[in-house]
């Protein structure tokens, strides 16, 4: 019996030292590794928008845009799209290209639009460029026809809302995009994607 | 002492390193099938989700005139709510996966015995088929 117990203790010690050993090759803290783009093993943090959130928001917004068929209504295909101002109204700084760049790639892949990269707008108004373009068209400015004139303009903003009950925090990030048809100055698609995260503190993976 | 050792051994084998989380995958049996309710091919591992979740059907159609659009009808076969993650990978006519923003894991919450609809639209007109991947969420 004593012999069996000794044998079992050796097995236990062996399992303890060899199981999962590839995760921590040198010391307890050495566990850095690469993860996939927008992996389910990425960090879930409450305080800011992370890479999964940007990808998810751009994916959902694009799908909504495709379903409405707004891009297919342009008389000349592919229509020229201008990317207007995307305002970051959250508490943390980030470049809004993190949202838009993926959308541009998928929009081009759809063959419905070409994206203007030589024209730019700005200002406090939601879509300053669309406004200026319309002013040029109305005043018959000869410069207005020198470059391919965008048919659509995309603008938007990202808003953050925080709620707390006891120690539980909920962060709501609203991604609001508007597609404007420049010819008549009206919105043809209003996209809204909400990403809500709730918890006491961040976690690894979801 | 003997009982303690046996208990410890069993614990090590049953709960130690419990990181396997098999993925349930579904695709169209025939990539060129353009019917509204295409035949499906399901791939799953034993011990995965096949006992708890069923892909009831997949509806397909077109969005924006030429983009493949699907709706996956997913049923929770249990009484308990569950958190799942899903990912849709789009493939062109050659079976090559398209690199777009759909290829990301997204969470879905399914209540007991509920049927939920997961919707997605391809971003390219060249897309013919897809892989739906399902996984149990971490929490």
Residues contacting residue B84 through CB under 8 Å, at least 6 positions apart: B49, B53, B74, B107, B108, B109, B110, B134, B135, B136, B137
Question: B42 or B27: whose pLDDT is higher?
Answer: B27
pLDDT > 90: percent of chain A: 51
Average pLDDT, integer, range A81-103: 92
With an 8 Å Cβ cutoff, are B137 and A72 in contact? no
Chain B residues in contact with A20 (beta carbon < 8 A): 16-17
Question: B19 or A199: whose pLDDT is higher?
Answer: A199
| Dihedral Cα A43, A89, A102, A192, nearest 10 deg | 100
User: Which of A4, A12, A110 is facing B67, going by the closest CB pair?
Assistant: A110
Provide the shortest C-alpha distance from residue B106 to chain A (in Å).
Answer: 7
Chain B residues in contact with A39 (beta carbon < 8 A): 105
User: Which of B104, B120, B121 is facing A52, going by the closest CB pair?
Assistant: B104
Rg for chain A, CA atoms, rounded: 25
Q: What is the DSSP letter of A55?
A: H
Residues contacting residue A169 through CB under 8 Å, at least 6 positions apart: A46, A162, A163, A198, A199, A200
With an 8 Å Cβ cutoff, are A66 and B67 in contact? yes
With a threshold of 0.80, does the pTM exceed it? Answer: no
Chain A residues in contact with B64 (beta carbon < 8 A): 66-67, 69, 71-72, 110, 112
With an 8 Å Cβ cutoff, are A69 and B106 in contact? no
Q: Is the pLDDT of residue A180 over 90?
A: yes
Strand-pair category, B67-76 with B115-121: antiparallel
User: Which of B65, B121, B124 is facing A63, going by the closest CB pair?
Assistant: B121
Question: A160 or B33: whose pLDDT is higher?
Answer: A160
Q: Which residue of A has its CA nearest to B121?
A: A63
Q: Which residue of A has its CA nearest to B16?
A: A19
Q: What is the DSSP letter of A182?
A: T
Query: pLDDT band at residue A18, thresholds of 50, 70 and 90?
Result: low
Number of CB pairs, chain A paired with chain B, less than 8 A apart: 100
- What pLDDT, on the 0 to 100 scale, is given for residue B6? 62
User: Which of A12, A19, A107 is facing B17, going by the closest CB pair?
Assistant: A19
- What pLDDT, on the 0 to 100 scale, is given for residue A174? 97
Query: pLDDT band at residue A122, thresholds of 50, 70 and 90?
Result: very low
Domains of chain B: 23-136 (2.60.40.3230)
Q: Where are the alpha helices (H) located in B42-89, listed in sequence order?
A: none
Lowest mean pLDDT among A71-80, B26-35, B90-99, B125-134: B26-35
Q: Which residue of A has its CA nearest to B136?
A: A206
With an 8 Å Cβ cutoff, are A1 and B138 in contact? no
ipTM: 0.78
How many residues can be counted in chain B?
A: 139
From CA A106, how far away is CA B77, in angstroms rounded?
35
A67-95 CB burial, b ≥16 within 10 A, e <16: ebbbbbebeeebbbbbbbbbebebeeeee
User: Which of A66, A103, A203 is facing B121, going by the closest CB pair?
Assistant: A66
Please write the tens of the pLDDT for every residue from B5-27: 665 555 555 554 555 677 788 88
Provide the shortest C-alpha distance from residue A63 to chain B (in Å).
Answer: 5
Query: pLDDT band at residue B100, thresholds of 50, 70 and 90?
Result: confident
């Amino acid at each position: 019996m004593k012999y069996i117990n000794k044998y079992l203790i050796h097995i236990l010690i062996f399992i303890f030292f060899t199981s999962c050993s590839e995760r921590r090759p040198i010391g307890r803290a050495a566990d850095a590794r690469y993860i996939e783009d927008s992996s389910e093993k990425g960090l879930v943090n409450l305080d800011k928008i992370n890479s999964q959130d940007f990808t998810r928001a751009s994916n959902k917004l694009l799908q909504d845009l495709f379903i409405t068929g707004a891009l297919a209504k342009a008389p000349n295909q592919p229509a020229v799209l201008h990317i207007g101002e995307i305002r970051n109204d959250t508490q943390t700084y980030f470049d809004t290209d993190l949202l838009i760049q993926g959308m541009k790639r998928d929009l081009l892949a759809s063959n419905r639009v070409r994206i203007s990269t030589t024209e730019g707008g700005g200002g406090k108004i939601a879509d300053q460029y669309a406004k200026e373009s319309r002013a040029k068209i109305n005043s018959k400015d000869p410069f207005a026809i020198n470059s391919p004139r965008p048919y659509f303009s995309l603008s938007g903003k990202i808003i953050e809302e925080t709620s707390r009950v006891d120690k539980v925090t909920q962060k709501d990030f609203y991604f609001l995009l508007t597609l404007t048809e420049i010819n008549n100055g009206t919105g043809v698609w209003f996209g809204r994607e909400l990403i809500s995260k709730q918890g006491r503190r961040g976690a690894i993976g979801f | 002492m003997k009982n303690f050792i046996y208990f410890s051994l069993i614990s090590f084998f049953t709960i130690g390193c419990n990181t396997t989380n098999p993925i349930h995958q579904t695709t169209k049996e025939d990539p060129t099938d353009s019917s509204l309710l295409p035949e499906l091919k399901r791939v799953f591992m034993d011990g995965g989700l096949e006992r708890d979740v069923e892909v009831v059907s997949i509806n397909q159609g077109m969005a924006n005139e030429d983009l493949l659009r699907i709706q996956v009808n997913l049923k929770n076969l249990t009484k308990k709510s569950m958190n799942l993650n899903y990912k849709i990978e789009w493939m062109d006519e050659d079976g090559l996966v398209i690199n777009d923003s759909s290829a990301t894991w997204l969470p879905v919450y399914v209540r007991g015995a509920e049927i939920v609809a997961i919707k997605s639209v391809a971003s390219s007109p060249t897309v013919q088929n897809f892989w739906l991947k399902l996984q149990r969420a971490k929490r």
